[in-house]
Amino acid sequence: MKRSRFIGLAGGVLAAAAGTAYWSSDRRNLVRADLGTDDGARLGPTIPISLPEDEREILALAALAPSGHNTQPWFVQPLAPRRWIVGQDRRRWLPAVDPEQRETMLSVGAFLQNLEYAAAAYGYTCRWTLLAAANQDERVMEVALAKTPSPVAFDLAPIRDRRTVRTGFLGEALRGADVARLLGAERESIHYLPTGGPESRWLDTRTIEANRLQSLRDPAQNELGRWIRFSSSEARRRRDGLSTGGMEITGVAGWWVRNFYDERDVMTPAFRARGLERVRGEVATSAGWILITSPDASVASLLDAGRRMARLFLQVRALGIALHPMTQILEEPATRLELSAALGLGEHVQFILRVGYLADYPPPVSLRRPVAWFLRPPGEHATTPPRRFRPADVA
Ligand SMILES: Cc1cc2nc3c(=O)[nH]c(=O)nc-3n(C[C@H](O)[C@H](O)[C@H](O)COP(=O)(O)O)c2cc1C
């Protein structure tokens, strides 16, 4: 065979093989819309239970709350019809970046805010009883729902459509009317630091530094690796953590990560350097920062700060504004110690949120565990191995 013809044929075979390999690979980010009405009954650790439809729907909406690394650190223990304990699942802590469970409590607070709004939409008011005295207490809040005599219409779209956005921010500062709307009556505890100002510049540079320090800490990096859902099949099976879609890794880079990466890659110098490069790119453009503060660090104050963050987050999409929590300054002791002095705030900073207008607002993509996966039978504790849930347990 002539050399040129052989090369042509071999090239064709190789291209066909590569094409077949590509078509049988993990080709697309799994996103929330792909799951549709799949309630995960086939895959979950529990069987579906017979909670009334409205209770199940309220809890599904509560679970759309944001959480660090999307750990979804909550569980719900039904005590009686419309009476639940909301708790924190200690198996979902992030000890390397959140050793005191401050962020876990903030996330549970966001869950409680969503729950309250969702309950209102179904015609209920919530009566709360705080159970936790320390951030580590498993049982956090008891809630009882009561039918409201005069329910108000509540739009659920902001809960369904809320999402964290990390890229594509425009560089202009927030308009005065939008700031007034977002801060509302909460000016004591929500602070806007516009781009270009000294505080905003400080947060830009220290966020990069805190990310650099964190990327060099093996336990933090290891923990991150354990919460990344590299492939679509893993994301579908677990429905939590950071999917490639959630991390906004798309196109060829997303394909590469889904098909060729695993936890060990997170520990390589190249992965750490790329993560830091991403952060540099993100902080380079924004409208500045929003800080959420609280008067102290008690459980009640942390839950309140989480609720405040959720309320703020539910308003921004309608204004074309993105929010991106960037918590590393608070997680790294060296930068955390500098924060209060640098910004001159008397209060405790609980959230650092990068903020900015978007030209196009993408749909939500991060995944959530179905309700049946985070229900816990009465009397069960994290130390007891999960058992199958029987409807009789809720009666
Ligand atoms: C307490 C807390 C801390 C967070 N820290 C970060 C962070 O440092 N960097 C980041 O990109 N996202 C952070 N997030 C956003 C979560 O990753 C995000 O909420 C989660 O992946 C679910 O995605 P969603 O908000 O789009 O539903 C944080 C969220 C919470 C509640």
Range list of H helices, the chain: 3-23, 32-35, 53-62, 102-121, 157-161, 176-183, 198-215, 218-227, 232-238, 251-260, 269-284, 299-316, 328-331, 333-343, 371-374
Q: Are residues 117 and 259 in the same domain?
A: no
Pocket flag, ligand 1, residue 40 (CB < 6 Å): no
Q: Are residues 130 and 176 in the same domain?
A: no
In a domain, 386, yes or no: no
The crossing angle, in degrees rounded to 10, of helices 102-121 and 299-316 is 60
Q: Are residues 108 and 254 in the same domain?
A: no
Q: What's the 132 CA to ligand 1 centre distance in angstroms? A: 23
Which segment of 74-88, 127-141, 372-386 scores lowest on mean pLDDT? 372-386
User: Above 80 in pLDDT, residue 245?
Assistant: yes
**Which of 159, 164, 229 is the best mutation target for the ligand 1 pocket, counting ligand atoms within 8 Å of the beta carbon and taking the most?**
164
Pocket flag, ligand 1, residue 104 (CB < 6 Å): no
In a domain, 101, yes or no: yes
- DSSP conformation letters of 6-32: HHHHHHHHHHHHHHHHHHTS--S---H
In a domain, 65, yes or no: yes
Nearest-5° angle of CA 370, CA 261, CA 90?
Answer: 40
* Measured distance CA(158)–CA(250) in Å, rounded: 25
What's the pLDDT band for 22 if we cut at 50, 70, 90?
Answer: confident
Q: Are residues 190 and 91 in the same domain?
A: no
Please name the amino acid found at residue 141: M
In a domain, 14, yes or no: no
User: Percent helix, strand, coil in the chain (nearest 5)?
Assistant: 45, 15, 35
Q: Are residues 168 and 214 in the same domain?
A: yes
What's the pLDDT band for 393 if we cut at 50, 70, 90?
Answer: very low
Pocket flag, ligand 1, residue 245 (CB < 6 Å): no
Q: Percentage of residues in the chain with pLDDT exceeding 90? A: 81
CATH number for the domain spanning 47: value is 3.40.109
Q: Are residues 101 and 200 in the same domain?
A: no
Query: Which atom number of ligand 1 is nearest to the Cα of residue 65?
Result: 27
Q: Per-residue pLDDT tens for 140-177?
A: 999 999 999 887 788 999 999 999 999 999 999 999 99
In a domain, 19, yes or no: no
Q: What's the 323 CA to ligand 1 centre distance in angstroms? A: 10
Pocket flag, ligand 1, residue 113 (CB < 6 Å): no
Query: Which atom number of ligand 1 is nearest to the Cα of residue 106?
Result: 1
Q: Are residues 243 and 334 in the same domain?
A: yes
Q: What is each CA distance from 113 to 66, 120, 372, in whole angstroms?
A: 11, 11, 20
Q: Is 131 within 8 Å of 139 (Cβ atoms)?
A: yes
* Domain count across the chain: 2
Q: Are residues 228 and 155 in the same domain?
A: no
Query: Which atom number of ligand 1 is nearest to the Cα of residue 351?
Result: 1
Range of the domain at 135: 32-160+365-377
145: β partners: 126
Pocket flag, ligand 1, residue 163 (CB < 6 Å): yes
Using only C-alpha atoms, the chain has a radius of gyration, in whole angstroms, of: 23
**Which of 35, 70, 242 is the best mutation target for the ligand 1 pocket, counting ligand atoms within 8 Å of the beta carbon and taking the most?**
70
Q: Are residues 315 and 216 in the same domain?
A: yes
Q: Per-residue pLDDT tens for 250-303?
A: 999 999 999 999 999 999 999 999 999 999 999 999 999 999 999 999 999 999
Pocket flag, ligand 1, residue 326 (CB < 6 Å): yes
Q: Per-residue pLDDT tens for 299-357?
A: 999 999 999 999 999 999 999 999 999 999 999 999 999 998 899 888 899 999 999 99
Q: Are residues 39 and 132 in the same domain?
A: yes
**Which of 163, 221, 327 is the best mutation target for the ligand 1 pocket, counting ligand atoms within 8 Å of the beta carbon and taking the most?**
327
User: Above 60 in pLDDT, residue 385?
Assistant: no
Owner of token pair 């509302």 = 184
Q: Are residues 325 and 353 in the same domain?
A: yes
Q: What's the 164 CA to ligand 1 centre distance in angstroms? A: 7
**Which of 61, 64, 67 is the best mutation target for the ligand 1 pocket, counting ligand atoms within 8 Å of the beta carbon and taking the most?**
67
* Measured distance CA(207)–CA(343) in Å, rounded: 14
Mean pLDDT of 18-47: 82
Pocket flag, ligand 1, residue 246 (CB < 6 Å): yes
Q: Are residues 192 and 337 in the same domain?
A: yes
Pocket flag, ligand 1, residue 107 (CB < 6 Å): yes
Q: Whose CA is nearest to atom 18 of ligand 1?
A: 66
Please name the amino acid found at residue 205: T
Mean confidence (pLDDT) of the chain = 91
Which segment of 15-29, 153-167, 351-365 scores lowest on mean pLDDT? 15-29
